[in-house]
């Protein structure tokens, strides 16, 4: 072996060793992530659910270095989901534990208990939400009489523009099992487009297709290979962005664009909200339908299965696409955004982007009218495909109130995975479980 090859091999072995050690460190991390203090909150109902009128309590536990914190004062505030506190108090930990009365609710919904304690000069916070008959929650948002006609007209206008896209092989995201292609998909005659990574199994054949819309923000497609197991296990998967920005741009470029064009006063989710015809998200929703056009045009499609899957804004877009496009045969959504957005007018949580919490000029007849044409709950009522939704209770981005409202609005075959402890995240096991669920619902 020559010297140059020997040096190369040594560098490779060193890289593998470092990667192995890093992986071990990652596995060794525990909850809470790199914190000396652990909170545990244990409602007196194991599933964190109560009937309206039932009294709820939560045992709070606090540990430092795994040792119960004794005699620390815990202050708490309690209020409705995403609502101001209407009760407060304090308890003292004994052997690391104390019980807090949460109270009850006369109407379906959630109570949120937020706790704080100072230990060795540092303040730590946590919260827990419990539900009261949430299966009875109904949307504030009503269905416009011409909702279906509005969207059928929009789809018909888009369908008049021929399917057009470019396709470029991406070696860095291809493996011995899958091939990746960068797609630029034209949307309309105005020259607007979106980009996405299209993943194929290697070896040829006919496959189900999966559309994966993105979470909120103006950003690149993060970790394109994170869900490579779809293509490895026989699915064609299309991960898209929605703003017409090439995902091969650098993170710095995306950050500059997001800062310039997605501020609180001019963010894309408020752009054109005064008009149902000019709202920014109209193009986005139709882009998802056009993505289905692309996927079902592929000669490798199995001719039967069309799946949509995503989380947060992506979960909203998955449900919206399933409601818009009857070609969809299965839908998977995590904690969907854009759900019962005007719910704050009912005195309870509304959906992300929380227009009525974050802005003072959203409560206008024109904006409220537009929201109804773009709200997930109204698309959920149209869905016929098998649907699976998962959400957590402690989520303050897409609160459990709105996830329940969407689930309750579904009239199709449906299943739910409820993970109370989760905030705005899903575990790797849960995400892999989506694939397993999809496999069971193939046509």
Choosing from 174, 193, 291, 312, which is the catalytic residue?
Answer: 312
Determine which one of 112, 325, 340, 395 is catalytic: 395
Report in angstroms the alpha-carbon separations of 194 from 59, 68, 124, 214, 259.
49, 53, 43, 12, 20
Is 70 labeled as catalytic in the residue annotation? no
Return the HEC string of the chain: CCHHHHHHHHHHHHHHHHHHHHHHHHHHCCCCCCCCEEEEEEECCCCCEECCCCCEEEEEEEEECCEECCCCEEEEEEEECCCCEEEEEEEECECCEEEEEEECCCCCEEEEEEEEEEECCEEEEEEEEEEECHHHCCCCCCCCCCHHHHHHHHHHHHHCCCCCEEEEECHHHCCCCEEEEEEEEECCCCCCEEEEEEEEECCCCCEEEEEECCCCCCCCCCCCCCCCHHHHCCCEEEEECCCCCCCCCCHHHHHHHHHHHCCCCCCCCCCCCCCCCCCHHHHHHHHHHHHHHHHHHCCCEEEEEEEEEEECHHHHHHHHHHHHCCCCCEEEEECCCCCCHHHHHHCCCCCCCCHHHHCCCCCCHHHHHHHHHHCHHHHHCCCCCEEEEEECCCCCCCCHHHHHHHHHHCCCCEEEEECCCCCCCCCHHHHHHHHHHHHHCCC
Cβ-based neighbour number of residue 16 at 10 Å: 10
Is the separation of the CB atoms in 189 and 161 below 8 Å? yes
Assess whether 227 carries a catalytic annotation. Answer: no
Question: Of the listed 127, 335, 354, 424, which one is catalytic?
Answer: 424
CB contact set of 148 (below 8 Å; sequence gap of 6+): 382
Q: Which residues are catalytic?
A: 312, 395, 424
């Amino acid at each position: 072996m020559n010297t140059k090859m020997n040096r190369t091999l040594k560098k490779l072995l060193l890289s593998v060793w470092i990667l192995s050690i890093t992986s071990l460190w990652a596995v060794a991390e525990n909850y809470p992530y790199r914190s000396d203090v652990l909170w545990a909150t244990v409602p007196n109902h194991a599933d964190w659910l109560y009937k309206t009128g039932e009294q709820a309590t939560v045992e709070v536990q606090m540990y430092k270095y795994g040792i119960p914190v004794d005699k620390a004062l815990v202050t708490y505030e309690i209020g409705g989901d995403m609502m101001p506190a209407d009760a407060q108090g304090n308890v003292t930990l004994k052997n690391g534990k104390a019980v807090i009365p949460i109270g009850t609710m006369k109407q379906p919904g959630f109570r949120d208990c937020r706790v704080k304690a100072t230990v060795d000069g540092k303040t730590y916070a946590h919260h827990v939400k419990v539900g009261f008959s949430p299966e009875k929650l109904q949307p504030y948002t009503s269905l416009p009489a011409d909702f279906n006609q509005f969207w059928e007209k929009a789809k018909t206008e888009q369908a008049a523009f021929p399917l057009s896209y470019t396709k470029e092989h991406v070696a860095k995201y291809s493996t011995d099992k899958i091939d990746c292609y960068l797609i630029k998909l034209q949307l309309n005659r105005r020259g607007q487009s979106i980009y996405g990574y299209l993943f194929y199994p290697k070896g040829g054949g006919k496959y189900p297709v999966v559309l994966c819309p993105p979470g909120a923000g103006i950003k690149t497609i993060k970790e394109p290979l994170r869900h490579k197991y779809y293509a490895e296990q026989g699915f064609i998967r299309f991960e898209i962005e929605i703003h017409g920005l090439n995902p091969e741009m650098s993170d710095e470029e995306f950050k500059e664009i997001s800062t310039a064009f997605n501020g609180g006063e001019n963010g894309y989710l408020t752009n054109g909200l005064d008009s149902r015809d000019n709202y920014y998200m109209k193009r986005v929703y139709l882009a998802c339908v056009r993505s289905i056009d692309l996927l079902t045009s592929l000669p490798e499609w199995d001719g039967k299965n069309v799946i949509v899957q995503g989380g947060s804004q992506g979960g909203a877009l998955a449900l919206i696409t399933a409601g818009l496009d009857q070609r969809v045969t299965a839908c998977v959504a995590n904690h969907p955004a854009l759900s019962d957005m005007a719910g704050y007018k009912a005195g309870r949580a509304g959906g992300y982007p929380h227009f009525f919490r974050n802005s003072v000029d959203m409560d206008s007849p024109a904006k409220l009218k537009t929201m109804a044409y773009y709200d997930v709950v109204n698309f959920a009522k149209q869905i016929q495909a098998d649907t699976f939704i998962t959400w957590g209770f402690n989520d303050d981005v897409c609160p459990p109130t709105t996830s329940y409202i969407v689930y309750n609005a579904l009239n199709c075959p449906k299943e739910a995975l409820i993970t109370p402890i989760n905030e705005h995240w899903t575990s790797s096991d849960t995400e892999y479980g989506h694939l397993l669920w999809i496999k069971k619902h193939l046509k």
